[in-house]
Amino acid sequence: MKDTGKIVGEALTFEDTIIVPGFSPVEPSQVDLHSSPARGITINVPVVSSPMDTVTGWRLAVRLAQLGAVGVIHRNMSVEEEVAHVRRVKEAPQEPFHPYETAREGVRISGPVKPTVITDTTGRPAGILLPLGSGPHTFLLEDAEYTARLVQAGVRPSLDGMGRLLVGAAVSPFHAERAVALERAGADFLVTDVAHLHNANAVRALQDMARRVGIPVVAGNIGTREAALDIASKVEAIGGFRVGISSGSICSTGVVAGASMPTLQAVLNVRSALEELGLAGEIPIMADGGVRGPGDAAKAVIAGASTVMGGRLFAGVEESLGRKVRVGSRLYKTYRGMASRGAMEERYASDRYSKPSKQLEEGVEGLVPYSGPASKVVAHMYFGLQAALGYSGAGSIREAWENGLLARITPTGRGEVNPHDIILSP
Ligand code: XMP
């Protein structure tokens, strides 16, 4: 058959690849995961929550920064409201064992736990918290347990130079005023929040916005090498790239519009552009969309990402912005795409997908199982990433970029890699 030049390559997904096991000089527990969500900013757990109106507000952002990760406040609200969320994070205590809102005042929970030892504020043991079915006790117990595991592993809160919790904030590249207000409120970095940044007007607007703020601006979303080369050449001191188009669990762009760049391939593309520019490792890549757990996150890192961004990962946690819904005996939380009908009805999200697409839904809305405290997800990601990078032979994120390898796997191989020939216990 004649090559018409229309098929320009392959677009690999997390599912298409496996991590190649490599010689590891260190134990997984020694793998150092510190990394950068944006240029000049360091966190201990390379995981960032998505700026979505059922995911990240101040409450999740506070908890993630206390646990070594970071959140990006969504922008589907007025400038004043978004500024208030940022301020609340900057004013929150950094202490990871900070008593949860529902805890008795003056009571602290210390680890190691199971059962959980409760101490008073002077450190004296005040009792033992046992799992008592569902409810706030179970939540507190789990939260204390996972927090204790992270603290014992050496994870420290994500802090700015003044000892305050780190926080990112989402902006449209067209709203420089919002960007300036968020910087004044104390946001540590900004993340542009448009589905297809590689657009003449959006890039022009971003050039202007980046000149008007002093904090790093993570530019996205993009998916190609060309977009990274073009934007890096036009926008001064880019603070990072947010990459991946239509891989998100709630995305329907790939179906409705047919356009997509799976997150893993987007990372590979942008990393190759940055290598060409001699900026690989300097401009952080945030892998956004479709990350289901630490295995996917590790693949993104090996491909060249500094951090992974997750919406679905955090949508089910207590601290997310989604509403709790009970269906029968089970608890769920609402989760929706920012281009879903519900999100776009709130006027601030409507420009995410360019003006004409106001009439076009590019996201879905639904429910995800309630999954307890955010600390449980952070611990799962942290220890899972350490294990995954351990398999790859890398002792750090940088080593994973340099030495980590991925291999393509066939669909039959994928079947073999996933659990098979067993009826799973409920
Ligand atoms: P996950 O898989 O973590 O993906 O739930 C979250 C990411 O998906 C993007 N996003 C959307 N993409 N339509 C889309 O095509 C939408 O309505 C939508 N809302 C969010 C976004 O990049 C987010 O971080």
73-106 pLDDT per residue, tens: 999 999 999 999 999 999 998 887 644 433 443 3
Question: What is the Cα–Cα distance from 388 to 88, expressed in whole angstroms?
Answer: 35
Angular region, 372: left φ>0, alpha ψ -120 to 50, beta rest: left
Residue 228 has pLDDT above 60, yes or no: yes
At residue 385's C-alpha, the angle toward residues 336 and 61, to 5°, is 45
Residues 168-179: b if buried by 16+ CB within 10 A, e if exposed: bbbbbbbbbebb
Question: What is the Cα–Cα distance from 286 to 308, expressed in whole angstroms?
Answer: 5
Residue 123 has pLDDT above 90, yes or no: no
| 260 pocket-lining for ligand 1 (C-beta < 6 Å) | no
Q: Is 271 one of the annotated active-site residues of the chain?
A: no
Confidence tier at 240 by pLDDT (50, 70, 90): very high
Q: Residue of the nearest CA to atom 15 in ligand 1?
A: 251
Question: What is the Cα–Cα distance from 265 to 273, expressed in whole angstroms?
Answer: 12
CA dihedral 362, 366, 367, 368 (to 10 degrees): -20
Q: State which amino acid sits at residue 416.
A: E
Residue 125 has pLDDT above 90, yes or no: no
The string of pLDDT tens digits covering residues 145-176 is 888 889 889 999 999 999 999 999 999 999 99
Record the pTM: 0.91
Query: What is the model's pLDDT at position 350?
Result: 53
Q: Residue of the nearest CA to atom 18 in ligand 1?
A: 337
The string of pLDDT tens digits covering residues 98-116 is 444 334 433 444 443 345 5
The mean-pLDDT minimum among 16-20, 71-75, 363-367 falls in: 363-367
- Residue boundaries of the structural domains of the chain: 25-95+157-322+372-383
Confidence tier at 187 by pLDDT (50, 70, 90): very high
Q: Reduced to 3 DSSP states, what percent helix, strand and coil does the chain have, rounded to the nearest 5? A: 35, 20, 45
Query: What is the model's pLDDT at position 368?
Result: 97
Question: What is the Cα–Cα distance from 68 to 47, expressed in whole angstroms?
Answer: 9
Q: Residue of the nearest CA to atom 12 in ligand 1?
A: 251
Question: What is the Cα–Cα distance from 100 to 80, expressed in whole angstroms?
Answer: 26
H or E stretch at 79: helix 79-91
The string of pLDDT tens digits covering residues 202-212 is 999 999 999 99
Query: What is the model's pLDDT at position 56?
Result: 98
Segment 325-335 mean pLDDT: 94
Of 242, 244, 352, 338, residue with least CA distance to 289: 244
| Cα torsion 351, 352, 357, 359: sign | negative
DSSP 217: E
28 CB-side CA count, 13 A:
14
CA 134 to centroid of ligand 1, rounded, Å: 31
Token digits for 412? 């039959």
Residue 126 has pLDDT above 70, yes or no: no
- Percent over 70 (pLDDT), the chain: 87
Taking CA atoms, 176 is separated from 23, 39, 79, 182, 348, in Å, by 48, 20, 11, 10, 15
Query: What is the model's pLDDT at position 353?
Result: 53
| Cα torsion 407, 412, 416, 418: sign | positive
Instruction: Report the residue count for the chain.
Output: 426
| 312 pocket-lining for ligand 1 (C-beta < 6 Å) | yes
| 290 pocket-lining for ligand 1 (C-beta < 6 Å) | yes
Q: Is 39 one of the annotated active-site residues of the chain?
A: no
Residue with tokens 């050449």: 233
137 CB-side CA count, 13 A:
12
The string of pLDDT tens digits covering residues 258-270 is 999 999 999 999 9
CA 294 to centroid of ligand 1, rounded, Å: 18
Query: What is the model's pLDDT at position 161?
Result: 96
Taking CA atoms, 347 is separated from 82, 86, 128, 148, 199, in Å, by 14, 20, 48, 41, 22
Segment 409-416 mean pLDDT: 92
Query: What is the model's pLDDT at position 170?
Result: 98
Query: What is the model's pLDDT at position 105?
Result: 39
Average per-residue pLDDT in the chain?
89
Q: Is the pLDDT higher at 376 or at 122?
A: 376
Token digits for 249? 């669990």
* Best residue among 196, 218, 251 to mutate for probing ligand 1, ranked by most atoms within 8 Å of CB: 251
DSSP 347: G
Q: Which of 149, 251, 271, 336 is catalytic?
A: 251
| 266 pocket-lining for ligand 1 (C-beta < 6 Å) | no
Which atom in ligand 1 lies closest to the alpha carbon of residue 309?
24
Q: Look up the CATH architecture of domain 25-95+157-322+372-383.
A: Alpha-Beta Barrel (3.20)
Question: What is the Cα–Cα distance from 33 to 196, expressed in whole angstroms?
Answer: 30
Segment 234-238 mean pLDDT: 91
Angular region, 335: left φ>0, alpha ψ -120 to 50, beta rest: beta
Query: What is the model's pLDDT at position 129?
Result: 52
Segment 408-412 mean pLDDT: 94
